[in-house]
Structures are given as structure tokens and as C-alpha cells.
Amino acid sequence: MKKTVIAHFYNEEFMMEWWLNHHLNLFDHGILINHKSTDRSVEIIRDIVPEWSILDTSLEFFDAFDNDFEIMNIESNIEGWKMVLNITEFLIFPNMDLRLKKFVDTDVQCIKTKGVIMVDDEPGVLARKEPLVQQKKHGFLEYRKNKYWKATEYCNGARTGRTCRQRILHRYSNGAYHPGRHDTYRPIDFVADDIFTLWYGYSPWCEEFIERKLSFKAKIPEKDLILGRSKQHVRDLSQLKKDYIDTGLAKIEFRHFPLDVAAFNASKVSQCKSDQSLEILESLYSNQQEWVKGNTAEEINKNLKKFIEKEGFKIDFEKCINDKEIEDFVLNDRIEGVKVFKVNATPTIIINDKKFEKTLNYKNLKKSLEKLI
């Protein structure tokens, strides 16, 4: 069964050669998504693995949700085993082909690695042609801590409210990932003690690596910009509703396109009471600063729950955000938005199955609607 690795990259000249040489014999094919790199990354890929695919991203930023759904859209067209890695992540999977062959006729669909955070105990000169995993061998398993800062159990990703370095190898149609793709909403069938993802997030610690790390700042989205666009959408919606919806000339059909974990949970909450869905959405959009905050999934959920209770919506919050049917509904909206309409930001307006490309304001919307009417 074919094995495919997928990765985003932006100016990864420093790490790319090591990463490609490490994985080219583990996977049958690779799909590498270019975020407008300006260095030699593409040249290195074409030199080492000319048969692998290089795709240009449709995204402007490295946004966790946007990247996830771009990748899931690609995965839906791939057969066999699939794995998503960053260029700083190196898979260790002894006897990979032989072991995967044993799963072919079984129900095993998803394998989880254990994450190892690599550290650089001896910064110094690196040999470009020698495998990085042989030069930088030191790291530690990430464990969840209790309040006394003692390790209690192996870190289990978003299910413990933390980001961990584990990854998923699966043969589902897509990974249905938690934000960042370190965990999945789908069942995990197998976890082995000798399958690891080595994360070189702080190793090798040298000038080139530090420069690489700092270069990503320009690719990280500003949440304030996202929030600002959403507020503009709400202001335009009220006038649009008055002139066209209430008069019966047009109708609005809302589709979910969450950009982060906070928005994903808010989308699920808005679906919990079908008779109040639009009312909940309007309240969420109008008061985003009250609930879009928190550094962990637990903090975000706490703030969202507090806001929903304050607004007087009678919702079983815990049941709602853990409802698999609602999760799938929101995820399908998001995937369809990317796949069918090429949505890559919010708000996006679709009029009669055609993406609205002009500056989003009431004047331009009115002009487009009047032409159709």
C-alpha cells in the first residue's frame, strides 16, 4: 500500500536536505506545499526527489486551521497511508514496510507516533552530508505535568488541552485533525513504543537555525486582522438583510469556515440549537473580544462557555462541543469551502455559486445583487 508524506514549507533551505534524505526511503511519494519560498528550498527538493510533487499554497499565512484544511483537501485525493510532517520533524519507524503490510487486511486505520523534543547539548559545526539524526541524538519524551511539576503520563495532544509533538499515520480519506495536526478526531488504533516523531524545534541551535526560526514571524496571521474582518461582515449583514432578505429578493445561507480552535468551538455551539442558530452566530460575531482569548483549549472553552451562559442561551456546552455529528457538519462545511469555492479567508461571499471577488462592502454587494435581480 502506497505511503505518502505531506509537508508545508517556507524558506527551509537549512533543514530541507536532511529532511528529504531521511524520508525518501520511508515514503513512496511526497507532496510538498510551498508558501512562497524565496531561498533554495525548491531547488533542493527537485535535486534530491525530482519525482515528488511541489504545490503552491493558496494561503497567505501559516494559520493552523487553514493549513489543516488545505492538507485534508489534498489527502482526500490520495490512496493508502498518509502522514503530515513539518520540515523540523523526522519520523523514526523501524521496519516500516513490513509492519504496515501486516495491517493491510486488518481494521487498523490510524497509527500514532510518540513525540520527542530534540535538544542541542553540543552546538557546533554540522556535516551537511551526514544524517541529522546521527549528529543530534539527544531529546526527551514530552510528558504532561501535574501541579507539582511531576510527570504523570505521556502527553496526549489536544485531548489533554496541550500541543504535543506526536503525529498521525493513517489511511482514512482525511485526517480530521485537531488544529496543528498533532491529533485527530478519528479513532486511533495503534500506538507503539518504538515509533517516534523527532521534533528539531530547538536543535541544532546555531545562527542559521535561529535565523530560520525568526523568519516565520511574517507568516503568522494577526488575529486582530481576522477579528476586524469579521466585524465588518456583521455590519454589512444587517443592511443586506433589511434591503434584500426581509423583502424576499434574496436569501442568506451561512456556512462555517473556522480559522482557529476558538472559532471551531464557536461554530459547534452555534449548531446546538437550530432554532437559535443565527441569533447565536450574531451574538458571537458581535462580541468576539469577550470569548476569543486563552492560550490553551481549556481556557478558550472556559471563556466561550462563560459567554454563552451570560448571553442566556440554554445549551449543554460540554455535550455540544464533543458532539461528533456536529463536528463533522462543521468540518464538512470547511472542506467544501476550500474544495468547491477556493475559500482561503473570512468573510467570503458566494453569490449563485460564484465567489465574490470585489472589495467586501455593502456598495459592491448591492451592485452585484442588483445585476442578478
The yes-or-no verdict on residue 162 having pLDDT over 60 is no
**How is residue 370 written as a grid cell?**
442588483
Highest-confidence segment of 124-138, 176-190, 268-282: 124-138
If asked whether residues 165 and 143 sit together in one domain, one would say yes
Q: Kindly report, residue by residue over 215-257, the tens digit of the pLDDT.
A: 665 565 544 333 333 343 344 556 777 788 888 888 888 888 8
What mean pLDDT value characterizes the chain? Answer: 82
If asked whether residues 200 and 287 sit together in one domain, one would say no
Residues 6+ apart with CB under 8 A from 174: 72, 73, 75, 76, 335
Per-residue pLDDT at 150:
45
If asked whether residues 178 and 245 sit together in one domain, one would say no
If asked whether residues 368 and 240 sit together in one domain, one would say yes
If asked whether residues 263 and 336 sit together in one domain, one would say yes
Q: In terms of residue numbers, what domain contains 22?
A: 3-219
pLDDT > 90: percent of the chain: 32
If asked whether residues 71 and 214 sit together in one domain, one would say yes
Q: In this structure, what CATH number is given to the domain that contains residue 66?
A: 3.90.550
Per-residue pLDDT at 301:
85
141: pLDDT confidence band, cut at 50, 70 and 90?
confident
Per-residue pLDDT at 169:
96
Task: Give the number of other Cβ atoms within 10 Å of residue 43's Cβ.
Answer: 12
Give the residue from 219, 252, 273 where a domain finishes.
219
pTM across the whole model: 0.60
Name the domain count of the chain. 2
If asked whether residues 177 and 252 sit together in one domain, one would say no
If asked whether residues 231 and 364 sit together in one domain, one would say yes
CA atoms of 86 and 7, how far apart (whole Å): 6
Give the residue from 176, 197, 219 where a domain finishes.
219
Amino acid identity for residue 27 in this structure: F
Per-residue pLDDT at 58:
87
H or E element that contains 330: helix 324-341
> Is the bond into 123 cis (omega within 30 degrees of 0)?
no
If asked whether residues 208 and 270 sit together in one domain, one would say no
Task: Give the number of other Cβ atoms within 10 Å of residue 49's Cβ.
Answer: 18
If asked whether residues 329 and 200 sit together in one domain, one would say no
Q: In this structure, what CATH number is given to the domain that contains residue 310?
A: 3.40.30.10
If asked whether residues 124 and 209 sit together in one domain, one would say yes
Q: Kindly report, residue by residue over 328-337, the tens digit of the pLDDT.
A: 888 888 888 8
Q: Kindly report, residue by residue over 28-37, the tens digit of the pLDDT.
A: 999 999 999 9
List Cα–Cα distances, 290 to 103, 285, 293, in angstroms. Answer: 48, 10, 8
Q: Kindly report, residue by residue over 284-313, the tens digit of the pLDDT.
A: 877 776 787 776 778 888 888 998 888 888
Q: Kindly report, residue by residue over 72-125, the tens digit of the pLDDT.
A: 999 999 999 999 999 999 999 999 999 999 998 898 999 999 999 998 877 777
Q: What is the DSSP letter of 177?
A: B
Per-residue pLDDT at 78:
94
CA atoms of 58 and 62, how far apart (whole Å): 11
Give the residue from 188, 219, 250 where a domain finishes.
219
If asked whether residues 163 and 132 sit together in one domain, one would say yes
